[in-house]
Amino acid sequence: AAEKYANFRDRNRWKLQDRTVSTGLDNSDLLTWTLEDFATKISELYLASVAEPQAIKISSDEFPRILRTYEETKVLRPSLYDFLANRALDYFKSGYNYLSAPAYKFEITDPDALKAYPIFEAIQWDTRDSQSLDLKALNLYQDLIRFHVNDEDPSALIHTDLARLQYVHEHSLDTEKDAQYLETLEAYKTTFADNPQVAEVIYLIADYWRNQGNKYQPGPSDAYRYDLKKAYDLCGEAIEKFPNS
């Protein structure tokens, strides 16, 4: 249902964007809604779909026609809850609710947002910006981590938290975010050393050094000079350790 509301809003956005809040209108008529009405309803429906995680802790194997999974990857999203939560995350992470940002717009500035999942999961976000899609995404990542934190196989936890780290790294305004991102990835490389998902951890570390290496400029400074070599070596390490990943 949330997707239907979002599609209707997107098709009619040019009609809605200048509409102001009015009273006394028929709220059942979508043609009278404002962009804020749609933003509220869409978020409510996505959140309602994941409001009871334990009630939808159903194996993805039970829905073969709906949840297209592959044997190699279904450990990463093993339940109906994972499917619904990630569908909601796709919307929240898009950032598109077409609302003007308030003066008190929520921004990701907390350095703990890029730390290991036990620290991230405990953060309480202090903001008045209830419509923030960033905030809703972070809250849902916290819920997903809690859902998987005690799994016997940590694959889904690792996969979820790596997605969280990438999202926060991209959107954080913390000036030290690069160093914290790398520190957390390096810690996961050790913590989950024997899990095949660590190949993705190594890849992200390699990609970090690739981006650093691309900044190199020939000259008297050696800054970034050997970072591409670090990335290359890390890729070789991942292939050697997990050739089937």
pLDDT the model gives residue 17: 77
- pLDDT tens per residue, range 24-61: 555 677 878 888 888 989 999 999 999 988 877 777 66
Mean pLDDT estimate for the chain: 89
For the chain, the three-class secondary structure string (H helix, E strand, C coil) is CHHHHHHHHHHCHHHHCCCCCCCCCCCCCHHHCCHHHHHHHHHHHHHHHCCCHHHHCCEHHHCCCCCCCCCCCCCCCCEHHHHHHHHHHHHHHHCCCCCCCCCCCCCCCCHHHHCCHHHHHCCCCCCCCCCCHHHHHHHHHHHHHHHHCCCCCCHHHHHHHHHHHHHHHHHCCCCCHHHHHHHHHHHHHHHCCCCCCHHHHHHHHHHHHHHHHCCCCCCCCCCCCCHHHHHHHHHHHHHHHCCCC
pLDDT the model gives residue 67: 56
Q: Name the pTM for this structure.
A: 0.89
- pLDDT tens per residue, range 111-152: 999 999 999 999 999 999 988 999 999 999 999 999 999 999
pLDDT the model gives residue 61: 67
